[in-house]
A and B are shown apart, each in its own frame.
Chain A
Amino acid sequence: MLSRSRPGKGVLEQALLLLVVVVLLQGSVLPLGAVSSPDISHQDRKDEHAVAIHSHNITKKPFPVLSVDYQNIQTPFEIALWVLLASLMKLGFHLIPRLSSIVPESCLLIVVGLLVGGFIRLAGEQVPPVLDSRLFFLCLLPPIILDAGYFLPIRPFMENVGTILMFAVVGTLWNAFFIGGLLYAVCQIQPSELNQLELLHCLLFGSIISAVDPVAVLAVFEEIHINELLHILVFGESLLNDAVTVVLYHLFEEFSGAGEVTVLDGFLGIISFLVVALGGVLVGAIYGILAAFTSRFTSHTRVIEPLFVFLYSYMAYLSSEMFHLSGIMALISCGAVMRPYVEANISHKSHTTIKYFLKMWSSVSETLIFIFLGVATVDGPHAWNWTFVTVTVILCLVARVIGVVGLTFVINKFRIVKLTTKDQFIVAYGGLRGAIAFSLCFLLKKEHFPKRELFLTAIITVIFFTVFVQGMTIKPLVELLAVKKKQEAKRSINEEIHTQFLDHLLTGIEDICGHYGHHHWKDKLNRFNKKYVKKCLIAGERSKEPQLIAFYHKMEMKQAIELVESGGGSKLPSANPSTISMQNIQPKKSAAAKPAERALPQLSKGREEEIRKILRGNLQRTRQRLRSYNRHTLVADPYEDGLNNLLLKKQKVIELEKKIKQMNTYLTVPAAPPDSPTMCRARLASDPQAYSVKSTSDDLPTIQVDLASPQSPDSVHLLDEFKKGEQKRQKEEEDQGLVMKAPTGVGDSDGSRDQQKLQRCLSDPGPKAEEEEEEDEPFLP
């Protein structure tokens, strides 16, 4: 019954996958068909259930051991099935090796949608109207936009906001009127039923189809990795033109009934545009600030932190949709506003959760949208008219090109970094249309718009054309034109330092030259932010943290975590493996200079012994614990709270450690080769709790801090330990935490070590010191 139109490859796993897919399709077809004909579904059930069904007809029936009640679970089941289908499709595409590099995913998904729709049709069932506008606008679209808005790179966006606005507002207006107007003219010329098409309807159609679609742009551009500037231009345009689309759509929809639009209406339209755009941004910003403020207090309930982010954003979207403001702009501004503050407040795990949930939801949404687009195409209803459709497609392209070229000509007069012809081509070519246009058209009522099917057909054709033709060819074109690609390297601390330095420098030069430019206002905003806003919205000490330090800490943490995840130092995940260490940087001080530079009194032998005892004692507790997650025990990570303090202490520690080194006194033993298990265990040694616990009971407060010092370049180890020692588990369940039998083991923790060996090490810093120093390396850029 189900004809397979996919070519079967010889590979076993691919065949299996296809089999699974087909079975699933079969499974999905039937329940979907059940919407319209419940009886058929019953009859198609397998035999095992026949017994139960039979039993319904007998008067005294035995107790039904097994019964079927599909109606009960129908809706959630179908939803889950669709989502499952979408996800399996995504899986499947990436299993087929060459396919995903030639054809963008969006195309494949639309094809799948077409196939599914085709199957359903063939099965004789009614294709469900899946791309319901409400479903689309309320459930499918928000995750994608939130994902985009939350991770919007603010700096390039703000630097180019003028250009983006020009493209979004003026460009879309131009497109709408050009397409609508010319289409009307063409329709008038044509001696066919198109003559009846009114001007306003044409303009409405033009405004629906003129907007560049963020979903399609994201789907295609993410795979081609062009440079940041072009990406943000096209993407920003697709986001900001929502306001224009909303206004034009409502304007023409309102007045197409009345039949004419006066100047007053035009004027009101402009006001409406400002209200829609600014209102959307304002609503989003308010919710964003609320979210940031809420996150300030979540230190004891870390588990639900991500929920606040999602809820506030969704409510921002819904609130602005309620007032017919631009929901997309609300979502973008909500995400962008709340992000710096929320990220300063929430735990690292919540941050990861938010990131992955957003990516997951937006990915699923996108997949579903494209599949539904395919299904809806099969569904129809269609009304094909060669003239209308082809003219529409051509006009879209032409309008886009003229618009981009013309606008760039004007924009380049104001830009410092001008847009080249290549840039213009990519911007024009990247103007993809997508599901938003389709859904907007779907919303139109048939009574008011007799040509609705024609519009739908034309829109679908344009969408297919842009997604398939432009989507598939943009990658080779980018290669051909040698457009600059995205810079993959992560930002290093040097770049960050100099970016900040440059900001201040340029602000200063502007002040000297005496004109209040771009940098001046940015600086003012930053200062305002630092002085007032951050204090309100960020909890605790972090509110005063300057950006450079925050960046540095983030970087250290990232590298520490990378180190942990790569197996505790067995493979240093550094991009440039190098043997540089602090020793190469530190100016070598001569022996004569030493006494003058000592900050600490020299440690006596007795003291050394005490130090070693303490270290040994502390290092024997805690080690890697078995983690069992229970949402009630997922309490505040001690390392989170203590992180700042610890990082400060770490600075002191490094200081101290250097002084100690200069005194030629070693508390440490030579480091083990990186992949020895002892090494790993040693790193997991100290418990963060031990710090706070110990400090009271110790008579060597300075050394207490030095707990980490033996493993001198310790931030790695410290943070390492925190990662492992998060759970406040009983410390009693200590097995031989540090079974460091090997002659090497970092951190003087070994109880079995004897004095002499230590002293031997003490007097022989040499090469080991370098190895030890090497550990400094991983978390440095």
Chain B
Amino acid sequence: MGTTQTRSENKYDDLVTKTGFSPEQIKNLHKRFQQLSENEETISKEHLHSIPALANNPIKKQIIDAFFDKRNQHQDEVGSFQEIGFEQFLMVLSHFRPPTLKMSEEDKARIRKEKLRFLFNMHDTDNDGTITLAEYRKVVEELLSKSGTMGIEAAKAIADAAMLGVASTNVPHMKPDEFYEGITFEHFEQILKGLEMETRMHIRFMDVNTTTMRCGKSTS
């Protein structure tokens, strides 16, 4: 008993340094992980699909895919997992940690890059380093997918307009026969720099021990 406890603490220490969460947060997330995986070691896509609250989310599929995307594991691998363990789960969630007060400018820039990279990976499904027009159209279509036929028709026009926006911001003077291949990561950063991702893309992780968590309902 004692040894397992110390072992799990050590294991948590490892994760603390890797992901930056605090031990309490990791404990809570571990509970949640076990809930989702029905007490198994790994979770698969079906487990995540079965979360009822996600049913209304138009980009559900992309979010779930992001968890299984190897690119989000900070390990330079590509492809996707079939199932992920707790560590991978945490790694993906670590992209959503809030910024701390004492952050230098370089830290902020690094974090912003990381978060933007996460978003970029979500859009760039074929992993060729650019978001092509087709991929971007898919993104907009998914966003409007819960809005019926009006959405589908408008999606194309919106995506085209958006793509044009990216191109004109980044490569303003292209000759008529040049072809803009797709949004590269630098261009992506450029167009979204006004949004200040480092302060917007985060959620609050619970520090408190929520032992009575039930099916996603937190009582804290």
Contact = CB atoms under 8 A, between A and B. Distances in A.
A417 B108 CA distance: 12
A495 B191 contact: yes
Interface of B is mostly: helix
A500 B59 CA distance: 10
Interface residues of B, number: 78
Given A494-B191, A579-B174, A579-B175, A505 B165 contact: no
Contact of B200 (A502, A517, A552, A780): A502
B218 A514 contact: yes
Contact of A552 (B154, B169, B217): B154
Interface stretch (A260-268, A485-493, A701-709): A485-493
A76 B218 CA distance: 63
A588 B133 CA distance: 12
A549 interface: yes
Interface string B150-185: 110110111011111111110111111111100000
Contact of B54 (A498, A512, A578): A512
B35 interface: yes
A781 B60 contact: no
Contacts of B54: 508, 511-512
**Main SS at interface, chain A:** helix
A657 to B, nearest CB: 12
Interface string B68-89: 0000000000000000000000
A582 B164 contact: yes
User: B48, B143, B148 — which one has the most chain A CB atoms within 10 A of its CB?
Assistant: B143
Interface in A724-781: 767, 769-770, 773, 776-777, 779-781
A504 interface: yes
10 contacts: A416-B99, A493-B162, A494-B165, A497-B162, A502-B201, A504-B59, A517-B204, A544-B150, A546-B146, A583-B177
Which of A520, A545, A574, A578 has the largest count of B CB atoms less than 10 A from its CB?
A578
A668 B195 CA distance: 41
Nearest to B193: A495
A497 B168 CA distance: 17
Contact of B176 (A417, A574, A584): A584
B129 to A, nearest CB: 17
A515 interface: yes
A578 B53 contact: no
B194 A527 contact: no
Given A493-B161, A527-B56, 19 more contacts: A498-B195, A499-B195, A506-B202, A507-B57, A512-B51, A514-B217, A517-B203, A544-B148, A548-B143, A549-B150, A576-B168, A576-B169, A578-B171, A580-B168, A580-B172, A585-B133, A587-B179, A777-B168, A781-B164
Contacts of B180: 580, 584-585
Contacts of B147: 544-546, 549
Given A546-B147, A580-B180, A501 B59 contact: yes
Interface residues of A, number: 70
Given A412-B101, A508-B63, A498 B192 contact: yes
A648 B168 contact: no
B5 to A, nearest CB: 24
A399 B162 CA distance: 50
Contacts of B161: 493, 552, 779-781
Contacts of A515: 204, 206, 210, 213, 216, 218, 220
Given A493-B165, A494-B192, A515-B206, A584 B174 contact: yes
Contacts of B148: 544
A583 to B, nearest CB: 6
Nearest to B200: A502
A532 interface: no
The 7 closest A-B pairs by CB, nearest first: A578-B172, A770-B176, A515-B218, A511-B53, A578-B168, A781-B165, A508-B63
A510 interface: yes
B217 A504 contact: no
Contact of A417 (B99, B119, B191, B205): B99
Nearest to A500: B143
Given A495-B191, A546-B144, A549-B147, A514 B35 contact: yes
B32 interface: yes
Contacts of B160: 582, 585, 654
Nearest to B136: A497
Contact of B164 (A500, A585, A769): A585
Interface of A: 412, 416-418, 487, 489, 492-495, 497-502, 504-520, 523, 527, 544-546, 548-549, 552, 574, 576-588, 648, 650-652, 654-655, 767, 769-770, 773, 776-777, 779-781
B143 A495 contact: no
Contacts of B15: none
Given A417-B99, A511-B54, A654 B157 contact: yes
Contacts of B156: 651, 655
B165 A508 contact: no
A577 B194 contact: no
Nearest to B89: A512
A230 B170 CA distance: 31
B93 interface: yes
B143 A519 contact: no
A520 B203 CA distance: 11
A766 to B, nearest CB: 8
A549 B205 CA distance: 33
A746 to B, nearest CB: 18
B167 A584 contact: yes
Contact of A549 (B158, B164, B195): B158
Contacts of A493: 158, 161-162, 165
B29 interface: yes
Nearest to B147: A546
B174 A580 contact: yes
A501 B143 contact: yes
Given A495-B194, A514-B32, A582-B160, A548 B172 contact: no
B151 A511 contact: no
A506 B199 contact: no
A577 B216 contact: no
A511 B218 CA distance: 11
Contacts of A549: 144, 147, 150-151, 154, 158
Nearest to B59: A504
Contacts of B59: 501, 504-505, 508
Contacts of B16: none
A586 B133 contact: yes
A578 B98 CA distance: 38
B140 interface: yes
Nearest to B98: A416
B20 interface: no
B58 A504 contact: yes
A497 B179 CA distance: 23
Given A508-B59, A588-B179, A770-B176, A513 B93 contact: yes
A769 B176 CA distance: 9
B32 A578 contact: no
A586 B181 CA distance: 9
A423 B26 CA distance: 33
A583 B150 CA distance: 25
Contacts of A499: 195
Contacts of A581: 164, 176
Contacts of A512: 36, 48, 51, 54, 63, 67
A493 B155 CA distance: 12
A511 B51 contact: yes
A513 B205 contact: yes
